[in-house]
Every structure is written in C-alpha cells, then in structure tokens.
Amino acid sequence: MKISEVCKVSGLTRKAVEYYIDHGLVTPEMDDSGYREFSQKDSERLKQVSVLRMLGVTVTEIKRILKASQPIEELRRCVLKRQVDYTAQEQQIKLLERLADGESVYDIEQEIQNLNDTKAIKLKLLEAFPGYIGRLYLVHFAPFLEEPLSTMEQKAALEAVINFLDNIKVPEHLRKCMDELQEDINFGSNEHIASMEKVKLQEIDNMEQFMQEKREFLQTYQEFKASEAYTSSLAGQFAKALKEFNNTNGYNEVFIPAMRTLSPKYDAYCRKLEKANRILLKQYPEYQQ
C-alpha cells in the first residue's frame, strides 16, 4: 500500500509517517517507480507506534519495545518508569502548593533534593539491570527510598549507591540468559511482583509459622534446587550466574551496605531477613549451600 493508504489505516499524518521512517521504526520497500510500498506488517507497526505515542511513549522507548525479544517485558518496564515519574510529579505538586501557601523556598529545598535523588535511584535501578531483574529490584527497593536524608553518612551512602548504579556493567552472557528465560517464562505484571514482595515481608515477620506451615514445600523445593534437572535448566543457570554476578560486582559488598546506611527502614528489613535466615538454617542447614 502507498503512504496515503497507510496514513488512513494508522491514523497518522504523512509527516508523522515520514518522521518514523527517518527514525527507523518502519522500513518500507521502494517500488519500480521510486515510491514507498508499505507492507501489512509496516501498517500494523505504524498503528502500534501511533497508539504508543498517544500514550506518551517516546520514540526512543518505542524503538526499544519494537526491537525487544519480549516486547511485553519492555512495556512493563516502561509502565514502571511512568509510575516513578507520576509519583515524583505528585510530590512536586504538593511542594508547589506549600510554596503557594506561603512557605519559604529554603524550607522545602532539601525535600526537593531528596525527591530528585529518590527518583534518580529508582530509574537507575531499572536501567542498570536487564529485563525482569530491573523491575524486581525497583519494586523491591522503592518503598525504602522515601525517607529524608538527615545525616552526612546518609548523603555519602547516596553517592555510593548512585556511583554503583552508574558504573555497573552487566555481562553479556547474563543479559542473554535473561532474554532466553523471558522467552520461556512470563514473569508477570508489576502488580504481581509487588504482591510477591508483600507476601515475602509477611513470611519474614512470621518465619517460624511459615516453616511449620510450609515444611513439606521447603523440603521438596530444596530437593528440586539440588537436582540435575534444575541445575542444568535455564532457570538454574541464570540463578547461578546472577549469584556470581552479585558476589563479584560489588552488589553485596558496596550497594547493599550503602542502602542500609541510606535507609534505616531498609536496614531494619535486612535485620529481620538475617534473623529469618538464621531460623531457616537452624531447621534446614542444607539451605546454606
């Protein structure tokens, strides 16, 4: 089909279609007369682009979505970015209202800085780690990033966290493994991840009860993780690669300690986690492996 027809189908103007061609979102063939010939696939892609643009998705983000091996996963990451932006905008509006009510700029200056720092860390978490892992880390750490920074130690920890996320290099084999895993497994929505995090917190708070109720499950799960079927599977290989990565890139030695200093709430969570882990290992020492 010619450009006039594809404009009708996609709802885009000729100028918009040409813009997306220039940016490589579609690559129509040229006919013998030198006119662009759009395929059905081109038309469908332009319709996708049109809808995504109406939803405020940038051209750069659309490129990533269209090129991704799992576009749904990339869309979910895009949703999280929008949620981070939306939360920050809500806080900005509240601060503006306080200024309008007569508060001094000096009274809210530190809150503005904290807001910007929090947003930066959240987005860096999402960008630093591939696929589902980036979403998981953002959802996991976000609730612990809302506290004000009041000490020099916290400000130094903030710098350490940002520096770590800015300089982390994820090995290509880990990214490839994540991509392959996402082809086989639907990791679920952002809401599903948040729900799992909530359940995990409840289990940590009631570890002894959890072990009593899930005794059979824990035994079966440990046997499965030790099996050849799991260790040779893509999921097992990825879990091993991620563990090795976190043990060698400073995640455990730099990032986690800095997060504990940055957020007293996160430090309290880690203390609960350590206590729960001691209870678990006392009952199931094989989990130490």
**pLDDT above 60 (res 137):** yes
Spatial CA neighbour of 88 closest among 61, 112, 109: 112
- If pLDDT is split at 50, 70 and 90, which confidence band does 185 have? low
Last residue of one domain, picked from the residues 34, 64, 94 = 64
Asked whether residue 84 falls in the same domain as residue 163, the answer is yes
Same domain, 80 and 141: yes
Between CA 165 and CA 129 the distance in angstroms is 9
Which segment, 166-170, 177-181, 278-282, is predicted with the most confidence on average?
Answer: 166-170
Let me know whether 46 and 172 are in one domain.
no
Question: 51 and 78 share a domain?
Answer: no
What integer pLDDT is reported at residue 230 of this predicted model? Answer: 84
What angle in degrees, to the nearest 10, is found between the helix axes of 131-141 and 105-128?
A: 150
pTM of this structure: 0.78
Residue from 129, 126, 114, 128 nearest 262 by CA: 114
Total of domains in the chain: 2
91 with 20, same domain: the answer is no
pLDDT for res 124: 94
* pLDDT confidence of residue 205: 82
Q: Looking at the structure, do residues 261 and 162 belong to the same domain, yes or no?
A: yes
CB 98 within 8 A of CB 86: no
- 21 or 245: which leads in pLDDT: 21
CA distance from start to end of the chain = 61
Domain final residue, candidates 64, 79, 108: 64
Helix ranges, the chain (H) = 3-10, 14-22, 40-54, 59-67, 71-100, 105-128, 131-141, 152-167, 172-184, 190-205, 207-213, 215-225, 228-231, 234-248, 256-262, 264-283
Better-scored residue on pLDDT, 4 or 184: 4
What integer is the mean pLDDT of 236-242? 85
Q: Are residue 59 and residue 72 in the same domain, yes or no?
A: no
* 47-56, 162-171, 203-212: least confidently modelled range: 203-212
Say if residue 149 is in the same domain as residue 167.
yes
Query: Residue 16 belongs to a domain with what CATH number?
Result: 1.10.1660.10
Same domain for 9 and 106? no
User: Which residue type sits at 217?
Assistant: F
pLDDT exceeds 90 at position 51? yes
Q: Kind of pairing, strands 29-30 and 36-37?
A: antiparallel
Predicted local distance difference test score (pLDDT) of residue 133: 87
Residues 86, 58 share a domain: no
Q: Are residues 131 and 219 in the same domain?
A: yes
Quick check: 289 pLDDT over 60?
Answer: no
Residues 73 and 205 in one domain: yes
More confident residue, 54 or 184: 54
Mean pLDDT of the chain: 88
**Structural domain range at position 180:** 68-288
Cα 192 to chain centroid distance, Å, stands at 13
